[in-house]
Amino acid sequence: MKMAMAWGCLVPTRRSLIGYEAATRKVLNHLGVETVDIPNETCCAPFWMQSLDFTTSLAMAARNLAKAEEMGLDLLTPCSGCFHSYMRVNHTYENHPEMREKVNDILAKADLRYDGNVESRHVVDFLYKDIGVNAIKESMKIDLGEIEIGLRYGCHMLKPSDLLNIEYSERPRFGDELLEAVGVRCKEYTGRYRCCGGLLRGTQDDVADYILHDRLMDAKNANLDGLVTVCSLCHIQHDMGQKSIKRKFGIEDLEIPVLHFPQLLALGFGYSAEEIGLNLHTVKTDGIVAKIIAGASKGGVKK
Amino acid sequence: MKREYHIPTSSFTEEIAALSGGEVIEKCIQCGICTASCEVARVSERYHPRRLIQKILIGKRKEVLESDLPWLCMTCRLCEERCQEGVSPADIFQLVRALAAKEGFVPKVFANAVDLVLRDGWLLAASYSDFIEDEREGMGLDVDLHWDDTFVQRLKAMFLGGA
């Protein structure tokens, strides 16, 4: 299996997100998935860009899809925002065929053409559906059974469900199912499925702070060993934003480690915390890693 | 006795309904499940999606287009999933923002964010300074990110012209 990777602009460039890229590469490699980066990837034109000029924003996303189409590969991305932008292109192609030529007129400026033949996938959905729970379970070297985490799906990987076509329920299960299969205990807690405020970070910081405060308090009250995210914005908020919430709202004992979904799997595959960038996270992850290692040394090592 | 119904409508509603994806606005029954589902509405006194849709329905065109409220939707789309009438406030506000942008009303912070993308070719490129290249190298990742802004530069005029 070979996929064209679109990393987006946040994952490769934020200190606490680089490990998301490293872990995703290692996990895919470990599971036998060959990857090739989309050459000279460009912005997917998210959110506000789409308001300014919908056709041009589609063309920006379609540029990366065109590169994948040239290589004859489907596209895989770890970023929920990018995933949404790419899905929007094919959806528009199918429902408004007149847009195809409009988009292609713009792509022609870069000597490209996109005919709608690339399927776009989100890494977590790909792991669950294409690799499968059993194959992942069999690749595990360390039992992750000592920890209890809160898995956050975020918003943009799943909604709107008729566009993104993964699963919609107010309580999605597929990610929990995968982690539970490798021993992780996923806790149900209030606020777990609610928005983190990430999309207003940088433009409406007060609103983003108040929402994040509520999400972090939800997690704190749930007594978790850590949070696990699949969305870059969720991670920036919960990990990088945690210190400022602690200060702004005067919460002394707020210290919740935040791991990315593939980082947790990578630990189970036997990679070290440093290899997957856990030491670069803003909130220290030593505690949860030590708990996993301690559990493994008690006889949890599987192979 | 003849029953009378009030069907809220306005020329602004018709303008939105005439746009692709905007038709659904006429199905809004103002039940408020959108506001009840909204994280922004929970922490903000100003942004309530039901109220904003109501302003469109009763024709407050100028007030809505000049306001920053349509820009505060985070597109989490929980309201859209829950709406029994199939209304998507996120899509409606996107159309409203497109109209506002055409008429020159883009709130400054959002205009700045978009300008940065058009300048850098990437969202939040300033975040590049957030890590040191050694950290990528240390994990065996490519230090050169191969960012390409030439395509976006070519599209810049289209965005700013609102084509």
**Tens of pLDDT along A27-38?**
999 999 999 999
- pLDDT score for A102: 97
Residue B33's CB is within 10 A of a number of other CB atoms, namely: 17
Q: Which chain A residues have a beta carbon less than 8 Å from that of B128? A: 13
- pLDDT score for A206: 94
Nearest of B150, B120, B138 to residue A39 by alpha carbon: B150
- Spatial CB neighbours of B139, under 8 Å, sequence gap ≥ 6: A18, A19, A22, A274, A275, A276, A277
Mutate to test the interface with B, among A15, A17, A35, A51 (most CBs of B within 10 A): A51
Residue B91's CB is within 10 A of a number of other CB atoms, namely: 20
In angstroms, the Cα distances linking A188 to A74, A127, A204 are: 34, 22, 29
Give me chain A's average pLDDT, please: 93
**Tens of pLDDT along B16-42?**
999 988 999 999 999 999 999 999 999
Residue range B97-105: mean pLDDT, rounded: 93
Rounded to the nearest 5 percent, the helix, strand and coil shares of chain A are: 50, 10, 40
Residue range B138-151: mean pLDDT, rounded: 81
Residue A78 pLDDT > 60, yes or no? yes
Q: Which chain A residues have a beta carbon less than 8 Å from that of B138? A: 274
Residue B100 pLDDT > 70, yes or no? yes
Minimum Cα–Cα distance from B104: chain A residue: A52
- pLDDT score for A190: 94
**Tens of pLDDT along A262-301?**
999 999 999 999 999 999 999 999 999 999 999 887 655 5
Cβ–Cβ < 8 Å for B78, A195: yes
Cβ–Cβ < 8 Å for A241, A20: no
Sign of the four-CA dihedral A56, B113, B37, A283: positive
Q: Which chain A residues have a beta carbon less than 8 Å from that of B113? A: 48, 202-203
Shortest CA gap A185–chain B (Å): 26
Residue range B80-101: mean pLDDT, rounded: 95
Residue A18 pLDDT > 70, yes or no? yes
**Tens of pLDDT along B63-87?**
999 999 999 999 999 999 999 999 9
**Tens of pLDDT along A203-218?**
889 999 999 999 999 9
Give residue limits of the domains in chain B.
11-102, 108-160
Token pair 């679109």: residue: A6
Radius of gyration of chain B from its Cα atoms, rounded to whole angstroms = 20
- pLDDT score for B135: 83
- pLDDT score for A33: 98
Q: What is the ipTM of this complex?
A: 0.88
**Tens of pLDDT along B37-54?**
999 999 999 999 999 999
Asked if A66 is an interface residue toward chain B (Cβ–Cβ < 8 A), one would say no
Q: Which chain A residues have a beta carbon less than 8 Å from that of B122? A: 9, 42-43
- pLDDT score for B162: 46
Do A195 and B106 count as a contact with CB atoms less than 8 A apart? Answer: no
Omega prior to A172 cis, within 30 of 0: no
**Tens of pLDDT along A88-137?**
999 999 999 999 999 999 999 889 999 999 999 999 999 999 999 999 99
Helix (H, G, I), strand (E, B) or coil at A229: strand
- Spatial CB neighbours of A39, under 8 Å, sequence gap ≥ 6: A67, B146
User: pLDDT band at residue A303, thresholds of 50, 70 and 90?
Assistant: very low
Backbone region of residue A26 per phi and psi (left: phi > 0; alpha: psi in -120 to 50; beta: other values): alpha
Q: Which chain B residues have a beta carbon less than 8 Å from that of A237? A: none
**Phi then psi dihedrals of residue A179, to 5 deg:** -70, -40
Mutate to test the interface with B, among A43, A167, A274 (most CBs of B within 10 A): A43
Homologous superfamily assigned to B11-102: Alpha-helical ferredoxin (1.10.1060.10)
Radius of gyration of chain A from its Cα atoms, rounded to whole angstroms = 19
Minimum Cα–Cα distance from B94: chain A residue: A51
Asked if A108 is an interface residue toward chain B (Cβ–Cβ < 8 A), one would say no
Nearest of A246, A58, A72, A267 to residue A182 by alpha carbon: A267
